[in-house]
C-alpha cells in the first residue's frame, strides 16, 4: 500500500513513512493511493470476532507487507488489553433501533484511546526497526493529549509534546495529560484556542529544517494510521447489527472531522452505511459546509463540549480531495485559499455528492443539555456533552428507515465532564477507580500562541 498527499506535491510513501511523518511535506494529508475493499463475507465474519483481531485485519490491509501480521496482532492485543470492557467498543441499546457505541473504556476514558493505544505500539515497532528516535507533537482540544500521553509515556526512543489551549479543556482532560510523571512527556498550555494550537503544529511541520533536526512526527488525526484504527469500530458495530445484510446509520459528534472521515473510509471500503449524521455544537463550520456549501472559519466559541470547539477541521481536506475526484491541484488551491482568507465555497456538484451520505446538523447548548437529561430519564444512561451533541443532532433529523439501526458514537465517559452532566441531569458521574487522578502532581508549561516560541522550547528540551 502506498500513500499520496492531498496536495499532490509530495512523493508517494509507504505505510511506515506515512505513519512516522504524519503530515506530508507539502502541507497536505496522506491518503492511500487505492482503497482496500473488504468483501461482504469478511464484514459478516467480523461479528463475534475479538476486537483486536478485527483491528489487526483492517490495519493489515493498509500496512501491507511492511508490518508482519503476527506483529500487528501483538500490537493490537497489547493495546486493547488496557481497556476496561472485554468488547473494547461495546454497543448499548437506548431504544428500538437506537444504540450507543461506547468508545470510552480505554485508559483516559475517551475514544482517542482506541486509535492512540495502537499508534503507540506502531511507533515503537517502527522506530525499533529503524533504530531511531522521534519528537512527537500533538495539538489537542481535550482528549487527544491525554490519550497520547497514556500511549507514549515511557516508550523508548520517543518524546511527546502536547499543546492544549489554556482554560479551554476540562480539569479532568488536563490532568490526564499532565500527571503521567513520564520524563519523555511534556505539555504546553497555549494562550489561545485549539485552532491556534493546530496552526502552531502545522507551522512546525512547514519548517523543513526544524522537522529534520528534531525528527518531528504528529499523532493528531492528520496521521492516517489514526484514521485506519478508527475505521475498525464502524465495522464491528455494523457487523454486530447485521451488516452487510442491512445498512447502519451513524451519528458522529465532530470537531476535527477525524471520526467522521473514518466513517466515510469504512463506507468506501465496502461497509453499507445508510447515513452519516455529522453533529456539531455552536462551532458549526462542518455543518454549515454540508448544509450550505460555506466552509468558513469564525472565532472558536467555548461550549460545554470543548473537544469540539474547533473552526478548522483538518480532515475535511481529505474529504474534499476524495469528492473532488482526488484532484490534488484543486484541493491544494482550495485549502491555500482557506488558509489565506478563512473560507472556501463548495461547488454545487460537490455538495450534491456529499449529501448522498452526509447530513450536517448543529445543536445549541440548551439542546445538548436537554439530550443529556432526556437520555438519563428515558434510558437510564448518563452521557457526556459531546455524545449529547450527537444525540441532539440525531433528534433534529427525520429518523432513518425502521430497518436501519442508528448508532450514536459515545466519545467520552460522562465522568470527564462532571459539572455539565450534573447540571443537566442532577446526577454524579463516577470515574472508574483505576482512572482517578486526584492527588497526582500536574506538570506543564505555558507559552504564547507562537510557533517560534514552541520551536525554541523544543530545541531547549535537548
Q: In sequence order, what DSSP letters do the residues of 57-95 get, joined into one string?
A: HHHHHHHGGGS-HHHHHHHHHHHHTT-SSTTSS-EEEEE
CB 135 within 8 A of CB 159: yes
Give the CA distances from residue 58 to residues 39, 62, 126, in Å, rounded to whole numbers and listed in that order: 12, 7, 18
Burial zone of 269 (CB within 10 Å; 0-12 exposed, 13-18 middle, 19+ buried)? middle
Selected catalytic residue, list 68, 112, 247, 416: 112
116: its cell numbers:
492512540
- What is the DSSP pairing of strand 134-139 with strand 216-218? parallel
49: its cell numbers:
470476532
**C-alpha dihedral sign at 205, 207, 209, 210:** negative
3 state DSSP class of 304: coil
* Residue 353 to residue 347: CA distance in whole angstroms: 10
Residues 382-410: b if buried by 16+ CB within 10 A, e if exposed? bbbbbbbbbbbbbeeeeebeeebbbbbbb
3 state DSSP class of 279: strand
* Residue 260 to residue 86: CA distance in whole angstroms: 25
Beta strands in 124-281 (DSSP E): 134-139, 158-165, 185-191, 216-218, 248-253, 273-280
Q: Is 128 a catalytic residue?
A: no
> Cis bond leading into 420, ω under 30°?
no
Alpha-carbon torsion angle 105, 107, 110, 116, nearest 10: -110
Residues 6+ apart with CB under 8 A from 360: 278, 279, 280, 284, 286, 287, 288, 289, 290, 291
* Residue 39 to residue 271: CA distance in whole angstroms: 9
* Residue 386 to residue 397: CA distance in whole angstroms: 18
Would you name the residues annotated as active-site residues?
A: 112
Amino acid at each position: 500500500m502506498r500513500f499520496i498527499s492531498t496536495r499532490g506535491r509530495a512523493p508517494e510513501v509507504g505505510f511506515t513513512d506515512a505513519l512516522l511523518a504524519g503530515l506530508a511535506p507539502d502541507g497536505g494529508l496522506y491518503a492511500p493511493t487505492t482503497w482496500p475493499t473488504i468483501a461482504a463475507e469478511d464484514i459478516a465474519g467480523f461479528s463475534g470476532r475479538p476486537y483486536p483481531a478485527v483491528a489487526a485485519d483492517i490495519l493489515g490491509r493498509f500496512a501491507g507487507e511492511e508490518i508482519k501480521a503476527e506483529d500487528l496482532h501483538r500490537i493490537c492485543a497489547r493495546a486493547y488489553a488496557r481497556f476496561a470492557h472485554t468488547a473494547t467498543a461495546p454497543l448499548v441499546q437506548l431504544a428500538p433501533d437506537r444504540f450507543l457505541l461506547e468508545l470510552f473504556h480505554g485508559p483516559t476514558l475517551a475514544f482517542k484511546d482506541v486509535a492512540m493505544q495502537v499508534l503507540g505500539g506502531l511507533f515503537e515497532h517502527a522506530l525499533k526497526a529503524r533504530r531511531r528516535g522521534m519528537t512527537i507533537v500533538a495539538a489537542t482540544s481535550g482528549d487527544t493529549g491525554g490519550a497520547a500521553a497514556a500511549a507514549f509515556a515511557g516508550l523508548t526512543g520517543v518524546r511527546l509534546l502536547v499543546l492544549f489551549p489554556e482554560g479551554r479543556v476540562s480539569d479532568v482532560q488536563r490532568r490526564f495529560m499532565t500527571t503521567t510523571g513520564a520524563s519523555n512527556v511534556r505539555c504546553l498550555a497555549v494562550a489561545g484556542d485549539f485552532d491556534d494550537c493546530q496552526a502552531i503544529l502545522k507551522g512546525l511541520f512547514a519548517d523543513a529544517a526544524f522537522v529534520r533536526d528534531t525528527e518531528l512526527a504528529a499523532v493528531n488525526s492528520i496521521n492516517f494510521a489514526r484514521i485506519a484504527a478508527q475505521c475498525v469500530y464502524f465495522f464491528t458495530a455494523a457487523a454486530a447489527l447485521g451488516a452487510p445484510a442491512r445498512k447502519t446509520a451513524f451519528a458522529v459528534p465532530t470537531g476535527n472531522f477525524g471520526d467522521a472521515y473514518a466513517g466515510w473510509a469504512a463506507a468506501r471500503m465496502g461497509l453499507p452505511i445508510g447515513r452519516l449524521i455529522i453533529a456539531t455544537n455552536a462551532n458549526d463550520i462542518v455543518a454549515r459546509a454540508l448544509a450550505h456549501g460555506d466552509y468558513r472559519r469564525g472565532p472558536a466559541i467555548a461550549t460545554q463540549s470543548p473537544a469540539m470547539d474547533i473552526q478548522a477541521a483538518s480532515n475535511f481536506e481529505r474529504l474534499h480531495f476524495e469528492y473532488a475526484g482526488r484532484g490534488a491541484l484543486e484541493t491544494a488551491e482550495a485549502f491555500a485559499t482557506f488558509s489565506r482568507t478563512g473560507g472556501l465555497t463548495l461547488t454545487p456538484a460537490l455538495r450534491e455528492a456529499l449529501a448522498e451520505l452526509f447530513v450536517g446538523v448543529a445543536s445549541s447548548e440548551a439542546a445538548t443539555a436537554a439530550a443529556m437529561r432526556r437520555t438519563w430519564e428515558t434510558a437510564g444512561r448518563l452521557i457526556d456533552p459531546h455524545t449529547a451533541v450527537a444525540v441532539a443532532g440525531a433528534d433534529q433529523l427525520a429518523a432513518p428507515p425502521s430497518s436501519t439501526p442508528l448508532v450514536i458514537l459515545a466519545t467520552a465517559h460522562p465522568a470527564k465532564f462532571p459539572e455539565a452532566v450534573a447540571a443537566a441531569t442532577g446526577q454524579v458521574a463516577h470515574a472508574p477507580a483505576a482512572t482517578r487522578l486526584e492527588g497526582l502532581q500536574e506538570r506543564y508549561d505555558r507559552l504564547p500562541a507562537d510557533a517560534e516560541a514552541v520551536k525554541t522550547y523544543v530545541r531547549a528540551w535537548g
